[in-house]
Amino acid sequence: MTPQTLGPRLGRIDALRTRLGDPAHWTVKEVGDGNLNLVFIVQSPQGGVVVKQALPYVRLVGESWPLPLRRSFFEYNALIRHEARDPGSVPEVYHFDETQAIVVMEYLSDHVILRQSLMAGKQHAGLGRRLGEFCARTLFRGSDLSMQTARRKADLALFAGNVELCDITEALVFTDPYFDAPLNRFTPQLAPVVAELRADTDLKIAAQHLKMAFANNAETLLHGDLHTGSVMVSDAEARVIDPEFATYGPMGFDVGMLISNFLMAYVAQPGHAEKPGARAGYQDWLLAEVAVLWQTFSDEFTQLWRTERTGMLYPATLFEDQAHGAAAEQARLDRLAAIWRDALGFCGVEMHRRILGLAHIAEFDKIGDDAARAGLEARALRLGRVLAVARGQINDIRQVLDLTRAIGGEGSK
């Protein structure tokens, strides 16, 4: 679609004419700046909608990298599940056109992409709490801890079709950063650190263990690409967008990716500071929100474990009904410990791929001075290495924040 063809096409849909009025008065602009899709804002005197359309190729690379349109189908299906599992957490979906690979949804006119806000140094009250809730609710309620297993297996089969998007993650996150892959790109001054990381066999083993977990541990429906570019924020709330990478995978994946992007925002802050040291307080806020995010995830997961454990796993018939409630709590702690360990590993490799691979993040790329950028990126690379390799020895979020200050903070060597 183009801004010229979209209006006449959508104007034929009753639900949209009701919402926006006469198509003759609509204006359409394309605003997408992501790696894969077209995004249009359609406005009329009555209101607005967002229209996301999948392209048959990777926008970032071009037609040489074809990508199936059916990712739009997975995105739509994930959005409606996220809404059911955590109401109000995603944009409302108004219309889905599978043939055109189009999702029409709520226009969040008061919201901005969280990554932009974090670069600008803006605080959002309740952000870590809301994102922790989202992760716990969607991950718990999409799993065999909660769902009837026939429904979960049907969903598992449905999302197993999202092969090409999983393939992107499997290559770009877990493999490409650790060798001289053709699509890699990085700041030239990083060459010595890159050589160090590529010679680090413990790190390569860790990345492959994590890849195996991602590809084989189908615990729950993941968002699949939960970084700070997949969250929109206003002063009042946060919404999670873009779940086209949705697939069944390990619970720690979404949580780890999200925390990673907050920690990278922390490391990159000096590159966006108005003057040296000006973002120190903001960095403290970022780390405090990470702590809240993990604590909320853990608390909400605990609450759901105690009140909504209706799936086939760890059934009450084996525990509470046998007066073994304490054992159910013991099992919960085991599960949370496994999620934590996985999350730290995913957090670490996400740092590497966002600096060394194809898909970078604006926090680093927007730092104009190559030497300054490389210095900050090197800190994030080293932090990522420790998180991925030593994830079994890091016991709590306090230690993660401490490591982030020590390795990723100003003054680190």
Q: How far is the CB of 347 from ligand SR1 (least distance, A)?
A: 15
Give the type of residue at 327: A
Cα 56 from Cα 306, distance rounded (Å): 44
Distance separating alpha carbons of residues 297 and 318, to the nearest angstrom: 25
Q: Which does 304 bind (CB under 5 to 8 A by kind): Mg ion, ligand SR1, none?
A: none
302 binding partner (options Mg ion, ligand SR1, none; Cβ < 5 to 8 Å by kind) = none
Residues near ligand SR1 (CB under 6 A) are: 35-36, 58, 60, 168-169, 172, 225, 358-359
Complex with ligand SR1: residue 38 or 359, whichever CB lies closer: 359
* Shortest Cβ 353–ligand SR1 spacing (Å): 7
Measured from each CB, the residue nearest to Mg ion is 242
Q: DSSP alpha helices (H): ranges in 199-279?
A: 201-216, 252-268
Q: Between residues 37 and 269, which has the closer beta carbon with respect to Mg ion? A: 37
Binding partner selected for residue 172 from ligand SR1, Mg ion, none, CB under the kind-specific 5 to 8 Å limit: ligand SR1
Strands of the sheet containing 231-233, edge to edge, are 112-113, 231-233, 238-240
- Out of ligand SR1, Mg ion, none, what residue 359 binds, judged by CB under 5 to 8 A for its kind, is ligand SR1
Q: How far is the CB of 216 from ligand SR1 (least distance, A)?
A: 19
Give yes or no for residue 377 binding Mg ion (CB under 5 A): no
Q: Quick one: 183 or 205, whose CB is closer to ligand SR1?
A: 183
User: Three-state SS for 40?
Assistant: strand
How does strand 62-66 pair with strand 57-58? antiparallel
Nearest CA to 239 out of 251, 252, 226 is that of 226
Give which of Mg ion, ligand SR1, none residue 58 binds (C-beta under 5 to 8 Å, depending on kind): ligand SR1
Question: What CA–CA distance (Å, rounded) separates 107 from 87?
Answer: 17
Binding mask 24-63 for Mg ion (x = CB under 5 A): ----------x-----------------------------
Site residues (CB under 5 A) for Mg ion, limited to 224-263: 242
Nearer to ligand SR1, 57 or 126 (CB): 57
Instruction: Say how far apart CA 214 and CA 350 lie, in whole Å.
Output: 13
User: Whole-number minimum distance, CB 350 to ligand SR1, in Å?
Assistant: 9
- What SS3 state is found at 247? strand
Q: Which residues of 55-81 are buried (b: 16+ CB within 10 A; e: fewer)?
A: beebbeeeeeeebbebbbbbbbbbbeb
Contact characters 191-220, Mg ion, x per CB under 5 A: ------------------------------
For 185: left if phi > 0, alpha if psi spans -120 to 50, otherwise beta; the answer is: beta
- Classify 349 as helix, strand or coil: helix
232 binds, among ligand SR1, Mg ion, none (CB under 5 to 8 A by kind): none
Closest CA to 91 of 239, 196, 220, 217: 239
- Which candidate, 407, 50, 53, 82, places its Cα nearest to that of 226? 82
CB of 33 to Mg ion, least distance (A): 10
79 touches, from ligand SR1, Mg ion, none (C-beta below 5 to 8 Å by class): none
CB of 293 to Mg ion, least distance (A): 20
Q: In this complex, which beta carbon is closest to ligand SR1, that of residue 171 or of residue 394?
A: 171
Which of 345, 375 has the CB closer to ligand SR1?
A: 345
Residues facing residue 44 across a β-bridge: 47
Q: What is the CA radius of gyration of the chain?
A: 21
- Residue 30 has phi, psi (to 5 degrees) of -95, 125
# chain residues binding Mg ion, by CB under 5 A: 2
Pairwise CA distance, residues 200 & 190, whole Å: 15
Which does residue 289 touch among ligand SR1, Mg ion, none (CB within 5 to 8 A, set by kind)?
none
Nearer to Mg ion, 115 or 211 (CB): 115
Q: Which does 367 bind (CB under 5 to 8 A by kind): Mg ion, ligand SR1, none?
A: none
Ramachandran angles phi, psi of 373, nearest 5°: -60, -45
Residue with smaller CB distance to ligand SR1, 169 or 283: 169
Q: Which residues bind Mg ion (CB under 5 A)?
A: 34, 242
